């Protein structure tokens, strides 16, 4: 080997050794510089969860009034007369939540109207039936009308609350299977349960604002409650529907026993979609019975007029 070749070989060998030394140093030093990636990832998830919790709670405070100021005339009347004890209603808070009313103020307003409406209806009925028109109504008939109006005023807040819950449930259930499909897609894509509920809430706002609100509440509860099953149970209690209760039970079992969440959501979505189809078929089957009375009242008289009028006109001309 000539001297030039030996020098070139020595330079290449020295460069290779230098590259190996640099690679070894980088391999040893880079973990120290980068830190613990898992710890950074967990810190990022925790901070994102805290931000989501803060944003959700702020949105709920502004939209649903969870932190309304309870100091006012109604609060003083309810507290002063102890109406919550005297006019206690079973499962009132659950019924209020099912109707979309949250916080302490709707409870106070319910008891206030349960006290005020019977008095107002009693005064109006007594004034009209006994004082204003005593000749048209006897004393017994006037007393019966007055007592009926008083009872109607007492039960009117409960009737209104029941109708509000039914209306809210009717607006939630048509969009609920679609929300489960979106939740399944989010979970299978790798999102956590909190992020999946948050994403579905934002996507379903255009279809059903009530369902978006329920999912937003569930997102907030999943963020700050110690046990997720409590959030699922609250979702079932706020929406007293068999489909939602079945989904909540399945989510609780998946959380407790570690069953795959994707399979659970897929099964529940299929069942709720079949339930929606059965409800539509039930309404379609009840349509002929509902059309019977309108047809008798509106269609048959017109049909008789159209058929019999020419015959009557001919008979009139014949005997003219």
Cβ–Cβ < 8 Å for 106, 130: no
Which residues, at least 6 apart from 63, have a Cβ–Cβ distance to it below 8 Å?
A: 213
Q: Is 192 helix (H, G, I), strand (E, B) or coil?
A: coil
CA distance 157 to 154: 7
Average pLDDT for residues 60-79, to the nearest whole number? 60
- Whether 42 shows a pLDDT value over 50: the answer reads no
pTM, to two decimals: 0.63
Q: Rounded to 5 degrees, what are φ and ψ at 209?
A: -70, -30
Domain boundaries, the chain: 70-166, 174-278
CA distance 221 to 201: 14
- pLDDT, tens only, 198-210: 889 888 888 888 8
Q: What is the pLDDT of residue 57?
A: 58
The residue ranking higher by pLDDT, 294 or 4, is 294
- Percent of the chain at pLDDT above 70? 81
> What b/e readout covers 172-185, taking b as 16+ CB neighbours within 10 angstroms?
bbebbbbbbbbbbe
Which of 160, 12, 19 lies closest to 95 in space, CA to CA? Answer: 160
Determine the Cα angle at 242 with ends 247 and 88, to 5°.
115
- pLDDT, tens only, 9-35: 666 677 777 777 777 777 766 666 655
Q: What is the pLDDT of residue 163?
A: 92
Cβ–Cβ < 8 Å for 191, 81: no
What is the DSSP code string of 297-311? IIIHHHHHHHHHHHH
Which residues, at least 6 apart from 295, have a Cβ–Cβ distance to it below 8 Å?
A: none
Residue 38: pLDDT band (50, 70, 90) is very low
Average pLDDT for residues 91-102, to the nearest whole number? 84
| Alpha-carbon distances of 162 from 130, 183, 246, rounded to whole Å | 33, 29, 22
């Amino acid at each position: 080997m000539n001297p030039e070749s030996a020098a070139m070989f020595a330079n290449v060998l020295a460069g290779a050794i230098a590259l190996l030394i640099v690679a070894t140093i980088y391999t040893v030093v880079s973990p120290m510089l980068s830190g613990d990636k898992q710890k950074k990832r967990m810190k990022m998830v925790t901070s994102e969860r805290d931000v989501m919790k803060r944003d959700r709670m702020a949105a709920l405070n502004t939209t649903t009034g969870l932190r309304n100021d309870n100091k006012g005339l109604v609060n003083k009347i309810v507290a002063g007369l102890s109406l919550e004890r005297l006019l206690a209603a079973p499962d009132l808070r659950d019924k209020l939540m099912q109707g979309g009313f949250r916080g302490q103020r709707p409870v106070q307003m319910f008891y206030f109207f349960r006290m005020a409406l019977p008095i107002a209806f009693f005064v109006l009925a007594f004034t009209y039936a006994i004082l204003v028109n005593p000749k048209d109504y006897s004393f017994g008939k006037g007393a019966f009308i007055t007592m009926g109006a008083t009872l109607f005023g007492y039960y009117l807040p409960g009737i209104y609350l029941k109708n509000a819950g039914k209306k809210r449930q009717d607006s939630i259930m048509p969009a609920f299977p679609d929300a489960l499909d979106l939740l399944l897609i989010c979970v299978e894509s790798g999102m956590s349960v909190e992020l999946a509920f948050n994403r579905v809430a934002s996507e379903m706002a255009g279809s059903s604002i009530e369902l978006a609100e329920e999912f937003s509440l569930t997102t907030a509860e999943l963020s700050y409650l110690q046990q997720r099953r409590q959030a699922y149970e609250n979702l079932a209690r706020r929406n007293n529907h068999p489909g939602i209760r079945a989904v909540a039970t399945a989510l609780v079992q998946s959380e407790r026993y570690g069953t795959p969440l994707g399979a659970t959501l897929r099964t529940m979505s299929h069942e709720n979609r079949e339930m929606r189809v059965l409800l539509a078929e039930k309404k379609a089957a009840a349509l002929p019975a509902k059309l019977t009375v309108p047809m008798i009242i509106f269609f048959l008289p017109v049909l008789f007029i159209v058929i019999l009028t020419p015959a009557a006109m001919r008979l009139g001309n014949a005997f003219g």
